[in-house]
Amino acid sequence: MAPTVSFWDCGEFIATSYSLGVPHPPGSPLFLIIGRLFSMLPLSSDIAFRVNLISPIISACANMLLYLIIVKVIVHWRKSIRNIDDAIVVFGGALVGALTFAFTDSHWFNSVEAEVYAMSTFFTAIVVWLILHWSERAEEKGNERYILIIAY
């Protein structure tokens, strides 16, 4: 993780998170509010370090969701996990897929600095996971709530 201000928009996002200002359009208000919460944490004397913590934490959560997505997709294709070999294929394949994504160049460099792309990846992963979760429960009563949250 970047210990202080890094290149491009990071300094702007760190400064506007601390002061709750407005960065360049479109502004990323959710990132700024979360950045303000992180800037108030008593973890370090450097505010840039505190705001930079958002991206690695949210990227780890996005990678966890990607792992769960891959598990759901493989289980859907294979229909069930019947023995240890199936479990190795499902969970090992999901682990390899999630780690491959985690160490890609673009994801890695957006995960170690105060940028909005890690949060965008996280919310995209949430939507995909919700779609898969809804598809498993499409015939159940009350499944409309998944559609509402996906559309939101």
Q: Quote the pLDDT of residue 2.
A: 67
56 contacts: CB under 8 Å, gap ≥ 6: 1, 111, 112, 118
Please state the rounded mean pLDDT for residues 85-99. 91
Q: Quote the pLDDT of residue 40.
A: 83
Q: Mean pLDDT of all residues in the chain?
A: 86
| Structure tokens belonging to residue 107 | 């994801």
- Give the pLDDT band (50/70/90) at residue 124: very high
How far, in whole angstroms, is CA 139 from its chain's centroid? 29
- Give the pLDDT band (50/70/90) at residue 110: confident
Helix (H) or strand (E) holding 12: helix 10-19
pLDDT beyond 90 at 98: yes
Contact present, 68 and 40 (Cβ < 8 Å): no
Give the model confidence (pLDDT) of 25-80 as tens digits: 777 888 888 888 888 888 878 888 888 888 899 999 999 999 999 999 998 888 87
Whole-structure pTM value? 0.83
Residues 110, 79: Cα–Cα separation, whole Å: 36
pLDDT beyond 80 at 6: no
Contact present, 62 and 123 (Cβ < 8 Å): no
